Structure 1
Amino acid sequence: MTEARLSERTLLEIADHEGVVLEAYLDSVGVWTWGIGVTDDSGHKVGRYVDNPSTLERALEVYEWLLRTKYQPDVLAAFKGIALKEHQLAAALSFHWNTGAIREAHWVQLFCKGDVAGARKAIMNWSTPREIIGRRKCERDLFFDGRWSSDGDVLVYQVRKPGYQPVKPKPMDLRLAVRGALERAA
């Protein structure tokens, strides 16, 4: 069985759900976050980016590294013995990046047992908070139907202070930058 590899489409898909903020900000529940949804829980300390914006290249480098070294091994272990297609790996990585719960997710267990219909329904049990429902539907449609939702344009935000909230999103085509990050990691 060939190991699934990160692709440009995969990185863009997840980044499209997350957005990019090059300076640390407080997320909707007050957790310091940076880059493409990176928090301290990932093992990369984001406090260094408070009032200290990074480059896009650095944000993509850390993002790719975390996906490859921390999140992808968990996803592959959860689907042990199943050769995931590119779109399935992308959807499962997006889910795990957002929830950190790929190993506990009932939908994964159902899929591994061959209950595709049950898994398709159960992925939507992970729809809290309410603003995550759109993302979860995209992950479902990608995993089960191969429907990608990203076109390469990702919203890049500024940080408004003193509240450290992301504001003024502008779409940016990240295809070349993501391709560069993958090439540097190879």
Structure 2
Amino acid sequence: MTAPGPVSGGFAFARVARLGKRARAPMKTSEKGIETLELEEGNVLRAYRCPAGKWTIGMGLTAASGVVIPKAGMVITAQQSRDLTKKALAAKYEPRVALVMTGARQHEFDAGVLFDWNTGAINKASWVPLWARKAGAAAISIKFRLWNGGGGKVLPGLVARRERELRILFEGMYPVLGEPSRPSVSVARWVLQLDFAEKIAAMTAFKKLGYPVGLDSAAIPAAEIRRFQVDHGLTADGKIGRATLSTLQRRLDATEKAKSVGLFSGGVTASAVTSAAPTGMSDITDWIASQPWAIGAAAAVIGLWGLWLAWQYRDVIAAKIQGRAPRLAAALRSI
């Protein structure tokens, strides 16, 4: 038997190299995974401010994504949004998940990516080592479900989201958002996966801010949602999605914080000074209230705080003056 020549040997080596290279190809989020991400995050094609005030676009992309710097008035297409999402996944999330979930099947990998996109915690989540050790669904689920809160509170939306991710992780069952049962230009459409309690909370908030939407979550007047969207510089499409709900949350947060300093409601008084103080400081606030000079100093500090809040929530101020001064409102939103 003659030894293989350099040509056949080279061919064999090249074939093995190709196979090895193919085996080492990094995993990517599947199309189903990206579609699920869109269902969870929404896909907003016009830049908006998230509840924290950061400009956001697409499937929740901020400047921190490294792939886009959203700005006031920025508009992208649905294809651009998907391309940017894929770039963000490839740059940050997919490599992190691949590193800690070696050997994952596609649906397991997708579940890890969806979890990490929402929490940024795939490297420290205690369920991941259990998954790697094949500890069993019950043990993994207990740890997975711990990631259900924010600000020290359990959030129903995150509870439901974790359950959807668990179904993907263990069963490969991806959620599907069906078409509305009675599409109508007169009825607003929910475009995120929200439970009944979340919808009621949003409807109550709209009503509190002067947008009467009724009590039936399936028959919200689209005209009221469009009016809210116009007032806040959003795309007036009558859809209750991520941008609309984030803006609604900012309105609520601004109102709550403004109350503590008398912002928009008559200035700073001695009672406002004491009520703005943290709990557990009653002796200090009583003393401040009895000292005229201390009241003045505290009022000055709170006044500066009020100005800072006004700047942080200038988009909310823009909404309040939209009808009277649309140009000024537009200028405030552009900053």
Q: TM-score, normalised by structure 2?
A: 0.45
Q: Which residue of 2 aligns with 1:179?
A: none
Paired with 1:96 and 1:60, the residues of 2 have a C-alpha distance of 18
1:46-65 correspondence to structure 2 within 5 Å: 46-48=69-71, 50-65=72-87
Counterpart selection for 1:168 from 230, 238, 249: 238
Q: Per-residue deviation at 1:143?
A: 0.5
Tell me if the contact between 1:71 and 1:96 (Cα under 8 Å) persists in the aligned partners. yes
Could you tell me which of 27, 49, 68 is aligned with 1:4?
Answer: 27
The size of the alignment, in residue pairs, is 167
Q: Aligned residue for 1:106?
A: 126
Per-residue displacement from partner, 1:27-62 (whole Å, max 9, x unpaired)? Answer: 2333322101112222134333x2121111111110
For the pair shown, the structure with the greater C-alpha radius of gyration is 2
Kept in 1: contact 2:67–2:87 (CA 8 A): no
Q: 1:1-186 counterparts in 2 under 5 A?
A: 3-48=26-71, 50-79=72-101, 82-116=102-136, 117-129=138-150, 130=155, 131-150=157-176, 155=191, 160=229, 163=232, 168-169=238-239
Q: CA deviation at 1:148?
A: 1.1
CA separation of 1:161 and 1:108: change in aligned 2, threshold 3 A: farther
Counting strand residues as a fraction of each chain, which structure ranks higher? Answer: 1
Per-residue CA distance 1:159-185 (angstroms, 9 max, x = gap): 9366466873279xxxxxxxxxxxxxx
User: Quick one: structure 1 residues 11 and 98, their matched pair in 2 at CA, closer, same or farther if it must change by over 3 Å?
Assistant: same
Change (3 A) 1:142 1:30: same
Query: Is the contact made by 2:100 and 2:123 (CA closer than 8 Å) also made in structure 1?
Result: yes
Q: Are 1:13 and 1:90, in contact at CA under 8 Å, matched by a contact in 2?
A: no
- Conserved 8 A contact 1:24-1:53: yes
Q: Which amino acid aligns with 2:70?
A: G
Q: Is the 8 A contact 2:127 2:140 kept in 1?
A: yes
Flag the 1:164–1:125 CA change in 2: closer, same or farther, 3 A.
farther
List gaps (5 residues or longer) in structure 2.
1-22, 180-189, 193-225, 242-335
Instruction: Tell which has more relative contact order, 1 or 2 (C-alpha 8 A, sep 6+).
Output: 1
SS at match of 2:36: helix
- Deviations along 1:42-98, one digit per CA (max 9) or x if unpaired, are 2134333x212111111111001111232100000111xx32112111111101111
Which 4+ runs in 1 deviate beyond 4 A? 151-154, 161-167
Q: Tell me the distance in 2 between the aligned counterparts of 1:119 and 1:152.
A: 30
Question: What is the distance in 1 between the residues matched to 2:238 and 2:162?
Answer: 24
Compared CA separation, residues 127 and 136, structure 1 to 2 (3 A): same
2: CA distance, partners of 1:164 / 1:106: 41
CA distance in 2, matches of 1:119, 1:54: 39
Unmatched segments (≥5 aa) in structure 1: 172-186
Instruction: Say which SS state the counterpart of residue 51 (structure 2) adopts.
Output: coil
